[in-house]
Amino acid sequence: MSDTRSIGSRDARAELGRLIDEAHYTGKHVILTKSDEPRAVLVPYSWWQERQTQARSGPTPP
Protein backbone atom coordinates (compact mmCIF):
# COMPACT_ATOMS: atom_id res chain seq x y z
CA MET A 1 0.00 0.00 0.00
CA SER A 2 1.53 3.30 -1.06
CA ASP A 3 -0.01 5.22 1.86
CA THR A 4 1.85 3.08 4.39
CA ARG A 5 4.83 4.42 6.29
CA SER A 6 6.93 3.19 9.20
CA ILE A 7 7.76 4.92 12.45
CA GLY A 8 9.75 3.81 15.47
CA SER A 9 7.87 3.21 18.70
CA ARG A 10 9.68 6.03 20.53
CA ASP A 11 8.75 8.56 17.83
CA ALA A 12 5.22 7.15 17.61
CA ARG A 13 4.69 7.77 21.33
CA ALA A 14 5.53 11.44 20.85
CA GLU A 15 3.22 11.71 17.82
CA LEU A 16 0.42 9.31 18.78
CA GLY A 17 -2.41 11.85 18.69
CA ARG A 18 -1.38 13.07 15.25
CA LEU A 19 -0.94 9.51 13.95
CA ILE A 20 -4.44 8.59 15.13
CA ASP A 21 -5.93 11.65 13.43
CA GLU A 22 -3.96 10.91 10.27
CA ALA A 23 -5.28 7.33 10.17
CA HIS A 24 -8.84 8.46 10.80
CA TYR A 25 -9.00 11.43 8.44
CA THR A 26 -6.71 10.30 5.60
CA GLY A 27 -7.00 6.51 5.79
CA LYS A 28 -3.23 6.05 6.00
CA HIS A 29 -1.75 2.98 7.68
CA VAL A 30 1.36 3.25 9.87
CA ILE A 31 3.72 0.38 10.64
CA LEU A 32 5.08 0.69 14.17
CA THR A 33 8.60 -0.64 14.60
CA LYS A 34 10.89 -1.42 17.50
CA SER A 35 14.61 -1.77 16.80
CA ASP A 36 13.75 -1.50 13.08
CA GLU A 37 11.52 -4.60 13.33
CA PRO A 38 7.81 -4.28 12.41
CA ARG A 39 5.70 -4.91 15.53
CA ALA A 40 2.20 -3.51 14.87
CA VAL A 41 0.12 -1.52 12.40
CA LEU A 42 -2.07 1.48 13.12
CA VAL A 43 -5.04 1.43 10.73
CA PRO A 44 -8.24 3.46 10.49
CA TYR A 45 -11.03 1.99 12.61
CA SER A 46 -13.38 1.90 9.60
CA TRP A 47 -10.85 -0.23 7.69
CA TRP A 48 -10.52 -2.66 10.60
CA GLN A 49 -14.30 -2.81 11.07
CA GLU A 50 -14.81 -3.70 7.39
CA ARG A 51 -12.33 -6.57 7.70
CA GLN A 52 -14.11 -7.87 10.80
CA THR A 53 -17.45 -7.83 8.97
CA GLN A 54 -15.91 -9.63 5.98
CA ALA A 55 -14.35 -12.27 8.24
CA ARG A 56 -17.70 -12.97 9.91
CA SER A 57 -19.53 -13.31 6.59
CA GLY A 58 -17.05 -15.85 5.29
CA PRO A 59 -15.61 -16.19 1.82
CA THR A 60 -17.57 -14.86 -1.10
CA PRO A 61 -18.61 -17.47 -3.66
CA PRO A 62 -17.13 -17.20 -7.19
pLDDT tens for 22-57 read: 999 999 999 999 999 999 999 999 999 999 998 888
- Rounded to whole angstroms, the Cα distance separating 8 from 61 reads 40
Q: How many other C-beta atoms are found inside a 10 Å radius of the C-beta of residue 12? A: 19
Q: Which residues, in sequence order, are bridge partners of residue 37?
A: 34
CATH number of 5-56: 3.40.1620.10
Q: pLDDT value at position 56?
A: 87
pTM: 0.77
Q: pLDDT value at position 4?
A: 85
